[in-house]
Amino acid sequence: MKKSFRDFVQALDDGGELLRVNKPVDMRRASALMSQSDKAVMFENIADYPDWRVAGALITSRARLAIALDCGAGEIAARFEERAARPIDPVIVDDGPCQEVVLQGDDVDLSALPFPIMHLFDGGPYLSGTFVVSKDPEYGRNSGSYRMMYRTPRETGIDLVSPSDMRFYYQRALDQGKPLEIAVAVGVHPYEMLAASYKAPIRTDELSIAGGLHGAPVPLVKCKTVDLEVPADAEFVLEGELLPIGWTADEGPFGEFSQISGDVKWNPVFRVKCITRRRDPIFYQLQMPWENDWLAAPVTEAAGLQALRIASVEPVDIRAPVGSCGYWSLIASIKKRPGEGKNALLALLSVAEVKLAIVTDDDIDIHDPDDLDWAMTFRVQADQDLIVVSGARAKHIDPSVKSWELGKGGLPTTAKLGIDATIPEGVPKQLYRRIRTYAADDVRLEDFL
């Protein structure tokens, strides 16, 4: 059965992973309070916003990510890959909770939403946990996640600098001097958020990927003012269009998922025509950076597993380290045949904007940094086991690509590094036999105390 955002919040509560706060909370303080909690947080009483509750920091640990995917912490990548490979098309329903209240015309007022101030250097209040739907006449429906900075009661900025299908859709509309209609759903299940981050082929409907993750179709309702459909059980929806002005409006800074306070960017503007919501809405504040990083990891890991299998390499384990924001690095162990260390690296470096890949044999625990360091120390020769690829796709929020030199709307490139930390061909495996203490299995120290 398809689960909702509220089902996930309840699952966190049932698992002892949710902190409920009943005292009044100022939205300028919400982010600071979330950052001090080791659990997900639900604010039940929001100062100046009596109709709203606010939930955030829902996925800031691997344990809560496992609750979202309903699996063990060590099964996350495999579960995502398995279910994403079996998409289920969404279904259209007549109505849904996300349209219990409809606000159009003069009633549209973004200041009536409890936008949080999240980071010290941010350019304004931000909407972070978005599921954004768009369409192209040729390529069809697309879903992604884009942060939005409050500008006026009817407009936000939108971060659309990185390569994405929606950026491509917007550019096609812009070339014709037309706006691009979009709908922004907030408060959807993590399966929808993961599907929105998935690097699917351009003609793939990410809502079908979400259906595969759920194991059931995602019910959609038609929007009131734009020709789009959104998840019927969302907490609220913003309908409108990206103005045909190109990358001309300043947006940012923002505390990026790279764990860096980014720079001011030039971006399009989103004009809101309609707001629909539940009668008792929950505002989802995706807490940057950790919540974004943990959501990125299974998508990156699953893409890495798929790339390895396409390359005919048998993976054993894979990890997108949270230190690289679950996005820029992949570490994998494989059952290696001759030459497959290099083949595995080439496959992993093809994934999105991954800029560092490390491959080990299956005797290495890639979750143990000391074991990984040991493999890189004794199985790597720098002149033979490193691969460097120049001019590959990059993201603006990596300062090392110097994106400010590109001008408005420019796309950066990066260099990628692969490290083959598998046993080199021609070196006998017995030379890597680990030491074992003599008689270790025959005695116990406590018997001598």
Percent of the chain with pLDDT over 90: 72
Burial category of 244 from C-beta neighbours within 10 Å (exposed 0-12, middle 13-18, buried 19 and up): middle
What pLDDT does residue 288 have?
A: 77
- The rounded distance, in Å, linking the Cα atoms of 128 and 113 is 13
What pLDDT does residue 171 have?
A: 96
Domain with CATH 3.40.1670.10 in the chain: 292-425
Pairing type for strands 91-92 and 219-222 reads parallel
pLDDT tens for residues 281-312? Answer: 999 998 877 777 778 888 899 899 999 999 99
What pLDDT does residue 43 have?
A: 97
Does an H or E element contain 216, and which? none
Q: Distance of alpha carbon 213 from its chain centroid, rounded? A: 15
Mean pLDDT over each residue of the chain, to the nearest integer: 92
What pLDDT does residue 74 have?
A: 82
What pLDDT does residue 355 have?
A: 94
Question: What's the mean pLDDT in 188-204?
Answer: 89
pTM (whole model) above 0.85: no
Which band of pLDDT confidence, cut at 50, 70 and 90, is reported for residue 406? confident
Instruction: Tell me: pLDDT of 48 over 90.
Output: yes
User: Which among 229, 298, 351 has a CA at the least distance from the CA of 83?
Assistant: 298
Question: What's the mean pLDDT in 177-195?
Answer: 96
Instruction: Tell me: pLDDT of 418 over 90.
Output: yes
- Residues 266 and 403 sit within 8 Å (Cβ to Cβ): no
The correct CATH number of 292-425 out of 1.10.645.10, 3.40.225.10, 3.40.50.300, 3.40.1670.10 is 3.40.1670.10
Residue type, position 323, single letter? G
What pLDDT does residue 143 have?
A: 96
What pLDDT does residue 325 have?
A: 83
Which band of pLDDT confidence, cut at 50, 70 and 90, is reported for residue 269? very high
Which band of pLDDT confidence, cut at 50, 70 and 90, is reported for residue 334? very high
- The rounded distance, in Å, linking the Cα atoms of 420 and 124 is 44
Q: Which residue has the higher pLDDT, 133 or 395?
A: 133
Which band of pLDDT confidence, cut at 50, 70 and 90, is reported for residue 75? confident
Instruction: Tell me: pLDDT of 1 over 80.
Output: no
pLDDT tens for residues 339-383? Answer: 999 999 999 999 988 999 999 999 999 999 999 999 999 999 999
What pLDDT does residue 111 have?
A: 96
Domain with CATH 2.30.110.10 in the chain: 89-279
- The rounded distance, in Å, linking the Cα atoms of 42 and 19 is 6
pLDDT tens for residues 114-146? Answer: 999 988 888 899 999 999 999 999 999 999 999
pLDDT tens for residues 13-24? Answer: 999 999 999 999
pLDDT tens for residues 230-268? Answer: 999 999 999 999 999 999 999 988 877 667 787 888 999
Instruction: Tell me: pLDDT of 280 over 90.
Output: yes
What pLDDT does residue 216 have?
A: 96
What's the CATH class of domain 89-279?
mainly beta
